[in-house]
Amino acid sequence: MPTELVHVGFGNILTMNRVIAMAAPTSAPTKRIIQEGRSKGVLIDMTSGRRTKAVIFLDSGHIILAALAPETIMGRLQNKSGTAVKIDAAETNDPE
């Protein structure tokens, strides 16, 4: 299986082969997981000081914070691989 690299903003590249899930950082459980990851030393902040729009969970247990929305990251993956990934805007609950 080839490694799929995706640009997640500000010169940061993420390998999508290791991604388990992506979530918005708005819920209380997600915020709690971010704090736990920070205290354990497994949090990687790729926001360059911007507002966090996506929390990405890797199979290694690391947690990535990105300044791009999960839909944007998936769109970049879709454009790169040529596969269709359909995301319904009503399912995302993203107010933006």
pLDDT tens, position by position, 26-41 = 999 999 999 999 999 9
Distance (Å, whole) CA 46 – CA 66:
5
Confidence of residue 78 (pLDDT cuts 50, 70, 90): confident
Q: Rounded mean pLDDT of 57-61?
A: 97
Least confident of 21-25, 77-81, 92-96: 92-96
Q: Are 25 and 31 in contact (CB under 8 A)?
A: yes
Higher pLDDT, 35 or 76: 35
**DSSP secondary structure code for residue 50 in this structure:** S
What pLDDT sits at residue 5? 92
Q: What is the pLDDT of residue 3?
A: 87
